[in-house]
Amino acid sequence: MQPDLRTFITDSPERAAAICREGFPVAFPTETVYGLGARLSDEAAIARIYAAKGRPPSNPLIAHVLDVEKVSCLAHDVPPFAHTLFGAFSPGPITLVLRRRPDVPPHAFAGLSTIGIRIPSHPAARQFIEEVGETVVAPSANRSGRPSPTRWQDVLEDLEGRCACILRGDPSEMGLESTVIDCTGRAPLVLRPGSITLEMLRDVVPSAASTSAADLLVRSPGTRFRHYAPRAEVVLIDRPPAIPPPESAFIGLTAPAHAEAWTLVLSCENVAEYARSLFGFLREADARGAEHIYCERVDKTGLGVAIMDRLERAAAG
């Protein structure tokens, strides 16, 4: 993609799909975060996605399809527990890594023999995929290393002139990327925590497990790279400091004293709001010129696991 190409913004899934069919990456809303999509078979468009994002070539894309019937066209030896997981949580914010069929075009999968498959529930995403008429491969629509986009304006901020089209939608309902689960072994292994929590997975497949950090580096290419980093320094804290530090923003579950002295404050009602707001908040704090972003830790249970995963990566910058 030429960096000086104008980015066309549309509310029409049909127009967005037409541009995608012409071979240009198109950003589209989903219930998790915005994605940047191309057709599974379109090698040139997939190369444009990697170029637009500055994405390492070793990091594979997720295949987005409309229904579970499509899974057998893309994957083989799908274990019964994977069908159970699709049945319980799809369409929705879950991606299953399966063995890729050898006849599937390989360009989006970074040389792996596997494929991550997701069935999104967002109506505009589904209409877009339907109109494209083919499996849509897509990573999150941010520059590599930046927080994932939860609003169409975030996509524009990162990819203006680098993607041909943005299908405009509402802010993302979940705000964190899908739960990614390796289903190529004996039991489901969570590679990336998300809104579908380990507790929820275990309710339907009791053997579901989370991965150790060392195991993750081997199994999940995406975890090897710097992530979710705003320009400001991210500082994890257990409670807000009594006196707001200068040029600092705060996000968490409690209400800090002297809220007016912070550059930006968000006290979330619950972990769902924290998850939904986090990436947008990191971007907003940057836009307001904050030098430091204080993020309150949450318990590592339920959705808190996914929030802490993103916070720890953002702070690791």
Contact residues for Mg ion, defined by CB under 5 A: 140
Kindly state whether residue 140 participates in binding ligand TXA, applying the rule CB under 6 A: yes
Cα torsion 183, 185, 189, 195 to 10°: value is 10
Q: Which residues of 18-34 are buried (b: 16+ CB within 10 A; e: fewer)?
A: bbbbeebbbbbbbbbbb
Of the pair 228, 250, the CB lying nearest ligand TXA is at 228
Size of the site for ligand TXA (CB under 6 A): 26
Alpha-carbon torsion 261, 266, 270, 274, what sign?
negative
- Give me the residue label for tokens 């704090």: 285
Residue 118 interacts, among ligand TXA, Mg ion, none and using kind-specific CB cut-offs from 5 to 8 Å, with: ligand TXA
Binding test (CB under 6 A) with ligand TXA, winner from 25, 92, 169, 222: 222
Nearer to Mg ion, 30 or 140 (CB): 140
Cβ-in-10-Å burial (0-12, 13-18, 19+) of 66 comes to middle
Exposed (0-12), middle (13-18) or buried (19+): which is 151, by Cβ within 10 Å? buried
Q: According to the binding rule CB under 6 A, does residue 195 interact with ligand TXA? A: no
Which amino acid, one-letter code, is at 251? I
Among 18, 66, 88, 112, binds ligand TXA (CB under 6 A): 112
263 binds ligand TXA (CB under 6 A): no
Contact status: 197 vs ligand TXA (CB under 6 A): no
* Contact by Cβ (8 Å): 118, 178: yes
Binder of ligand TXA out of 62, 124, 275, 307 (CB under 6 A)? 62
Among 23, 221, 245, 317, binds ligand TXA (CB under 6 A): 221
CB 271 within 8 A of CB 296: no
**Residue among 279, 309, 311 at smallest CA distance from 295:** 311
Neighbouring residues of 69: CB distance < 8 A, sequence distance ≥ 6:
none
C-alpha span between 17 and 136 (Å, rounded):
10
Q: How far is the CB of 244 from ligand TXA (least distance, A)?
A: 33
Span 167-186, contacts to ligand TXA by CB under 6 A = 177-178, 180
Among 30, 150, 197, 211, binds ligand TXA (CB under 6 A): 30
Q: Decide which of Mg ion, ligand TXA, none touches 280; Cβ closer than 5 to 8 Å per partner kind.
A: none
Q: Does 248 bind ligand TXA (CB under 6 A)?
A: no
Binding site for ligand TXA (CB under 6 A): 30, 32-33, 35, 59-62, 95, 97, 112, 114-116, 118, 138-140, 177-178, 180, 191-192, 220-222
